[in-house]
Amino acid sequence: MVRIITDSSADLEPREYEQLNITCIPLTVFFGDEEYQENVNLSKDQFYELLYGGGFPKTAQPSPQILLDLFEDAKQAGDEAIYFSISGAISGTYQTACATKELVECDDCYVFDSKNATGGLRVILEHACCLRDAGKSAKEIMEGVAAIQDKIVLYACMDTLEYLYRGGRISQTVYKLGTLAQVKPIIRVTEEGAIEVPAKAMGMRKGMDMLCKKVEAQKPSPNHSFYAMYTGDRSNGVALAEKFRAMGYDIPDEKIINVGAAIGSHVGPNACGMVYVTE
Structure confidence at residue 160 (pLDDT):
82
List, in sequence order, the alpha helices (H) in the chain: 14-20, 44-52, 64-77, 93-104, 118-133, 138-149, 162-166, 172-180, 204-217, 234-246, 261-267
Q: Which residue type occupies 133? A: D
Yes or no: is domain 2-27+62-149 CATH 3.40.50.10440?
Answer: yes
Region(s) of the chain under CATH 3.30.1180.10: 152-277
Q: What is the pLDDT of residue 174?
A: 64
If we measure between CA atoms, which residue out of 115, 248, 245, 135 comes closest to residue 190?
115
Tell the burial category of 232 from Cβ atoms under 10 Å away from its Cβ (0-12, 13-18, 19+): buried
- Phi and psi torsions of 33, nearest 5°: -90, -5
pLDDT for residue 177: 61
User: Edge to edge, what strands does the sheet with 28-31 contain?
Assistant: 34-37, 28-31, 57-60
- The C-alpha angle with vertex 91 and arms to 26 and 230, in degrees rounded to 5, equals 65
Q: In sequence order, which residues have a C-beta less than 8 Å from that of residue 2 and are 6 or more positions away?
A: 79, 80, 81, 82, 132, 136, 137, 138, 141
**Helix or strand (DSSP H, E) at 184:** strand 183-189
Q: 17 by DSSP, 3-state: which?
A: helix
* Furthest C-alpha separation in the chain: 59
- How far, in Å, are 28, 82, 114, 139, 180 from residue 265 at the CA level? 12, 27, 20, 33, 22
Q: Supply φ then ψ for residue 240, to 5 degrees.
A: -70, -40
Query: Which residue spans of the chain are classified as CATH 3.40.50.10440?
Result: 2-27+62-149
- The pLDDT score that the predictor gives to residue 167 is 65
Residues of the chain with pLDDT under 70: 167-171, 173-178, 180-181
Let me know: does 38 contact 47? Beta carbons within 8 Å: yes
- pLDDT for the residue numbered 144: 98
Distance between CA atoms of 209 and 139, rounded to whole angstroms?
40
CATH topology assigned to domain 152-277: Hypothetical Protein Tm841; Chain: A;domain 3 (3.30.1180)
Question: Quick one: pLDDT at residue 178?
Answer: 65
Q: What pLDDT score was predicted for residue 168?
A: 64
Q: Which residues share a beta bridge with 3?
A: 81
pLDDT in tens, 191-228: 999 888 888 898 899 999 999 999 999 999 999 999 99
- Would the pTM of this model clear 0.85, i.e. be above it? yes
